Structure 1
Amino acid sequence: MESELPTAGTPSGEPGAGVETTGTGALAVAGAADGGLVLPGDVESVGRYLTAAKAESTRRAYDADFRAWSTWARQRGFSPLPAADAAVAAYLAALSDAGASPRTIARRLSGIGHAHREAGHPSPSEHPGTREVLRGIRRTAARDGRRPRKARALDTQTIRALVEDLPAGVAGVRDRALILTSFALALRASDVCGLDVTDLAPAGHGGPDVTIRWSKTDQEGSGEVLALAPGVRARTCPVRALQAWVEAAGLTGSSGPLFRSVGRGARPRIGRTRMARSSVRLVLRRAAERAGVPLDGLSPHSLRRSFATEGYKAGVSERELARTGRWASVTTMRGYDASSRWADPASARLGL
């Protein structure tokens, strides 16, 4: 749900007092509201919290999507804001004709809608005609065989291969810890990059407790504590790998980001800032190239999907899988499993 602040105490169509949202999401003081006065400091505070309501990555995506729409609209002679519903529908159709995926088109529409709501205009994304066009785009894509691409799931043997041939040195130690920890705890790239050294705490299960302070589905930071258990092989044990990285990077007893950049040379410099999410993809692909693992469909999300697939195969309960992976919906989690449909198919029990 989008955050909105209505104009305070001003009849429609009359000049008066209150707080008004602008097209950039900033707030402006219009004067004295009925029964009180909204001060500049109040507006600044409200604007700050409205900004905090959206993740930074979400705000950047909305801004980029609205800029793309604005460029197209101006080229066609349309007003970007407020936008005519027919113009937005034409834009969606043009994106589809140009080969954009339904997911990309839906995201662009969300960005347009967000800008309109912030500016106090009706959102084109809510117009029945616009929604019907989007529905038609999805149906057409499905009929043409264009399905959303899913990250490829890997089995445990392939995960082992990824980390067993990493280069010697601090960078290889980091990459091993990053890959094994992400797989063992079903971490997104944003999750693993967001970890701090202080998120690791000794526990009684043989490994550390790992606190995920916030995530894509936990923007308010309720947090979740996950148990990172030791592996059965020393070379691929995530607990040993993580401890080796902490020691090699000199992070014992320190604070700040857990996974950081590593410089080149005999005595590589350890960065102070946290790794970018895009770096996780590079780490994974470099490891795959060294191990001879195909790159098709391989992404950081492969590690999360692999967790669900291998967990199901090992007989881990859905409750524990959902808790570790922080899936609110079991149905969504089952969609990550790439093995169950072959394990015991119903069609094999029909006596044919």
Structure 2
Amino acid sequence: MEFYGDGGDPVDELVAVGAAPTQAGPGTPVIGAAEGGLVLPGDVEAVGRYLTAAKTESTRKAYDADFRAWSAWAQQRGFAPLPAADAAVATYLAALGDAGASPRTIARRLSGIGHAHREAGYPSPSEHPGTREVLRGVRRTAARDGRRPKKARALDTQTIRALVEDLPAGVAGLRDRALILTSFALGLRASEVCGLDVSDLSPSGHGGLDVTIRWSKTDQEGAGEVLALAPGVRARTCPVRALRAWVDAADLGGSGPLFRSVGRGARPRIGRTRMARSSVRLVLRRAAERAGVPLEGLSPHSLRRSFATEGYRAGVSERELARTGRWASMTTMRGYDSSSRWADPASARLGL
């Protein structure tokens, strides 16, 4: 059985046995009939559901946006977006580089183009040697020109305390406190903290909480991981107390999204849908402004980076840091550590 399309929408078309597959782009998946058998509408619906579930919503949206950008550029210049000529894609990458796009953005665009081609049953331009060489040249040029990827700024524990000490009273302040402290204490990505449900929290036998991360960037198939959230040594910055205070004040019960929107007024309305990742950035920046913390380099990823940096500084083993933070690469995790650079620099021992 052959699949065509990006799996972003239910499969709604069958190709007759022996017929050539129809051309498909993102959002128009097509399935070929099983050779020697009959594919029923119910089977097609089931396939569509699982194709949709194969990629996270954010991944599907990113692929779709990247393909739309490529398609618009290609059509303006008379190129076919799908299937695309390798030379056309290479020209597109070069144009993005000349326009100042970061190597990371260009690589992501190429991934989106490649994904659309693979799902439509065409060879991927992203695998062509010439295309890969252009991308390599973009990276080398950016490095030579001093254009490096911007990294989120790490915060020390004292600054994290300051962020939550000055939060406003009320339900919104309780939510923001719980969100910031939980993200920092477990090294959560914004997508992970926004994806938590109330039912993902359960009491442990150590005065803390077991927090289930049902899926993540490095766990796309949802095997899940249970993390230990230990109680803090200070009441005002204890993530366990903060979570319980928020759940109780918002009357969330035992199910549904953990972090939600909070309305204004004396009796603010608690939303039913989960917070968007962009809202985490707003929460963090508002807290920083109230605490007088500089905004430069501050992003939701700062909390994850801070977890690694402060964990190293506190002597937490790399094994435990990697297990809690769920880094697939130790090299990536070590790159987050900005605490040890001056712990014992080699240059200080040279007798200069």
Query: TM-score, normalization: structure 2?
Result: 0.92
Per-residue Cα deviation, 1:22-59 (whole angstroms, up to 9, x for no partner)? 323544465672x3233333333223222211111111
The sequence identity of aligned pairs, in percent, is 87
Structure 2 residue 26 is matched with structure 1 residue 24: yes
Deviating more after overlay: 19-28 vs 44-53: 19-28
Give the drift of 1:341: 1.5
2-structure distance, mates of 1:239, 1:337:
25
Residues 1:300 and 2:300 are matched in the alignment = yes
Which residue does 1:11 correspond to in 2? Answer: none
Quick check: 1:46 aligned with 2:47? Answer: yes
Structure-2 separation of matches of 1:122 and 1:114: 10
Aligned residue for 1:143?
144
Residues of 2 paired with 1:4 and 1:96: CA distance? 36
2:91 and 2:263 mapped to 1: Cα distance?
49
Q: Does 1:231 align with 2:205?
A: no
- Structure 1 position 100 matched with structure 2 position 101: yes
Alpha-carbon deviations, 1:127-159, whole Å to 9, x = none?
110110000000000000000111000000000
Shift of 1:343: 1.2
Q: 1:346 Cα deviation (Å)?
A: 2.6
1:264 aligned to 2:264?
yes
SS of the counterpart of 1:225?
strand
TM-score normalised by L of structure 1: 0.92
Deviations 1:277-332 (A, max 9, x none): 11000000000001110000000000000000000000001111111101122111
Indicate the larger mover: 17-26 or 109-118: 17-26
1: CA distance, partners of 2:319 / 2:96 = 41
Higher mean alpha-carbon deviation, 176-185 vs 232-241, is at 232-241
Distance 1:31 1:5 in 2: 9
Counterpart of 1:115 in structure 2 is 116
Q: CA offset at residue 254 of structure 1?
A: 2.5
CA–CA separation in structure 1 for the residues paired with 2:254 and 2:135? 50
Task: Classify 1:267/1:250 alpha carbon distance in 2 versus 1 (closer, same or farther; 3 Å).
Answer: same
- Matches of 2:29 and 2:88 in 1, distance apart? 28
Q: What does residue 68 of structure 1 align with? A: 69
CA distance in 1, matches of 2:20, 2:90: 34
Contact preservation (8 Å) 1:165, 1:291: yes
Alpha carbons 1:82, 1:116 under 8 Å: kept: yes
CA RMSD across the alignment: 2.0
TM-superposed deviation, 1:79: 1.0
Aligned-pair distance for 1:348?
2.6
1:256 partner SS:
coil
Distance 1:93 1:222 in 2: 39
User: Deviation at 1:108?
Assistant: 0.6
Structure 2 residue identity aligned to 1:145: G
**Contact 2:2 / 2:31 at 8 angstroms: preserved in 1?**
no
User: 1:197, 1:254 within 8 Å by CA — same for their partners in 2?
Assistant: yes
Deviations 1:98-132 (A, max 9, x none): 11100001111111111111111111111110110
User: Cα 1:233–1:4, aligned 2, differ >3 Å: closer, same or farther?
Assistant: farther
| Contact 2:21/2:32, CA 8 A, preserved across alignment | yes
Contact conserved, 1:25 with 1:47, CA < 8 A, in 2? no
What are the ranges of 5 or more consecutive residues in structure 2 without an aligned counterpart? 5-16
Alpha-carbon distance between aligned partners in 2 of 1:44 and 1:308, rounded to the nearest angstrom: 44
For 2:127, the equivalent position in structure 1 comes to: 126
Q: 1:306 to 1:237 in 2, by over 3 A?
A: same
Name the structure 2 match of 1:9: none
| Aligned partners of 2:3 and 2:32 also within 8 Å | no
Q: Contact 1:173–1:241 (CA<8 Å) still a contact in 2?
A: yes
Give the Cα–Cα distance (whole angstroms) in 2 for the partners of residues 208 and 30 of structure 1. Answer: 48
Q: Report the secondary structure of 1:348's partner residue.
A: helix
Q: Deviations over 1:62-110 (max 9, x none)?
A: 1111111111111111111111111111111111111110000111111
**Which ranges in structure 1 are unaligned for 5 or more consecutive residues?**
7-14
How far residue 4 of structure 1 moved from its aligned partner, in angstroms, is 6.6
Residue 206 of structure 1 corresponds to which residue in structure 2? 207
TM alignment of 1:80-95, pairs within 5 A = 80-95=81-96
Match of 1:281 in 2: 281
TM-aligned CA distance change 1:231 to 1:32, over 3 Å: closer
User: Tell me, what secondary structure is at the counterpart of 2:217?
Assistant: coil
Classify the secondary structure of the residue corresponding to 1:201: strand
Contact 1:150 1:297 survives alignment (8 Å): yes
Distance 2:42 2:174 in 1: 49
**Corresponding position of 1:326:** 326
Q: Please name the residue that 1:176 is paired with.
A: 177
